[in-house]
Amino acid sequence: MAFDRRASAELRFAPRRAAPAFAILAFITTAGLHASTLPVRQSFDIQVPWVPQPAVLGTKTELVYELQLTNFSEDILELESVDALDEATGTALGHLDGKTLDDAVGQVQRTPAKRSVAPGGHATIYLSLPAPPQGEAIRHRIEYSVAGTTQHFTVGGGRFTPRPANPVALGPPLRGGPWVAIYDASWERGHRRVLYAVDGSVHLPGRFAIDWIKVDANGAHASGDASKPANWFGYGADVLAVADATVAATRDDVAEPGVVAPGPSRVPMGDATGNYVSLNLGDGRFVFFEHLQPGSVRVHPGQHVHRGDVIGRLGFTGQSTGPHLHMHVADANTPLAAEGLPYAMQGFRVDGKFPSIEAFGSGQAWTRGKAANRAPGMPGPMEVVTFPGR
């Protein structure tokens, strides 16, 4: 396939009792008595490192963000459930437990159980929730147990208020079709799940990245020998500027491996993007087009381009498992040390969808639907679309 902590402590609640008058004096003369009678323990530091704004993904408006947990206790803590709550109403916007929690948890360290967080260990919960009414805050409730015991605890944290929706409007990056919007929030090694700590802080540039691959009516992505990049239907396609913008950076010196082999091509992290172009969209936003053909980049830094201008050709450079166009929007002109931002694409028609990323990878046909022009937003995961032009 070609796809490329505010410290938290909690206490177990005991029913309150009316204190007799003498208890006031006793409390004053025995400092710390109240704190010592209730069990307080170290647990998770809970952070939301990037405050999201609503994003239109297919037909849904969602908040896509990460909850980062660090275990500051001396015990192995087992995650039992995670709730994202509308603070105003207490309504659960999202609840994860069992397999849904397993699928949402990512850890850098390898553990036998994904929900087991070792002392000093770190886990990231990848969340996609229905967007609450504007201005309402979200808080989180974590239920966990101590490994090897029957002790269960609850801790809260990670409060934030979503930012107002303000996606940048973009035109088509390619012509014709059908093209598959390759992304899936549940894909463990997909762009949505790959964190980079390359400049002293962690970032998720590919939070809303899409890998575009051209297919035929039967779902095939190549004709004949698929190990030859030139046999892929999208190889060499014109890549288009998606807005009137200024070229912020380019690279055009990365060679192609020549043969599509199983698994991603092995390259240094600094070469993972392959040949690329980034455009400055203004307002602190940059759009990246990656894995371009060697020698195909037609623009240079500082040049002004117009929506629809050809800026390069779809290729097979950098870390990739086959020819495709990687596209994402970020808040800085750097491929890795930036936060991925949502955007609103215009001018595409939805023709159908692959049922899953696994179905695409196994060569299954995509399901046709009633062709429909979609309102500005991002195509849904694994949707098959057509852009204007041949």
Q: Which of 350, 230, 330, 327 is nearest to 276 (CA)?
A: 327
DSSP string, 144-187: EEETTS--EEEEEEEEE-PPPP-PEEE--SS-SS-EEEE--TT-
For residue 24, what pLDDT is reported? 34
What is the three-state SS of 244-313? CEEEEEEECCCCCCCCCCCCCCCCCHHHCCCEEEEEEEECCEEEEEEEECCCCCCCCCCCEECCCCEEEE
Whether residue 178 is preceded by a cis peptide bond, meaning omega within 30 degrees of 0, is: yes
What SS3 state is found at 73? coil
For residue 22, what pLDDT is reported? 32
Q: What confidence category does residue 17 fall into, taking pLDDT thresholds of 50, 70 and 90?
A: very low
**Percentage of the residues of the chain whose pLDDT score is greater than 90:** 75
Q: Which residue has the higher pLDDT, 2 or 299?
A: 299
For residue 372, what pLDDT is reported? 86
For residue 390, what pLDDT is reported? 67
The amino acid at 76: I
User: What does the alpha-carbon distance between residue 193 and residue 327 come to, in Å, rounded to a whole number?
Assistant: 16
User: What does the alpha-carbon distance between residue 339 and residue 127 come to, in Å, rounded to a whole number?
Assistant: 16
Q: Against a cut of 0.95, is the pTM above it?
A: no
Over residues 200-210, the mean pLDDT reads 95
What SS3 state is found at 24? helix
Are 20 and 27 in contact, with CB atoms under 8 Å apart? no
For residue 30, what pLDDT is reported? 38
User: Could you read off the pLDDT of 47-93 as tens digits, one per residue?
Assistant: 999 999 999 999 999 999 999 999 999 999 999 999 999 999 999 99
Alpha-carbon distances of 308 from 241, 243, 316, 389, rounded to whole Å: 5, 7, 22, 11
Which two structure tokens, joined as six digits, stand for 192?
């949505």
Q: Which residue has the higher pLDDT, 308 or 258?
A: 308
Residue 98: is its pLDDT beyond 80? Answer: yes
What SS3 state is found at 216? coil
The amino acid at 369: G
For residue 19, what pLDDT is reported? 40
User: What does the alpha-carbon distance between residue 227 and residue 256 come to, in Å, rounded to a whole number?
Assistant: 13
Over residues 383-387, the mean pLDDT reads 97
Over residues 276-280, the mean pLDDT reads 98
Q: What confidence category does residue 184 fall into, taking pLDDT thresholds of 50, 70 and 90?
A: confident
Domains in the chain (CATH in brackets) are 9-160 (2.60.40), 168-386 (2.70.70.10)
User: Could you read off the pLDDT of 215-252 as tens digits, one per residue?
Assistant: 999 999 999 999 999 999 999 999 999 999 999 999 99
User: Could you read off the pLDDT of 118-148 as tens digits, one per residue?
Assistant: 999 999 999 999 988 888 999 999 999 999 9
213 bridge partner residues = 180
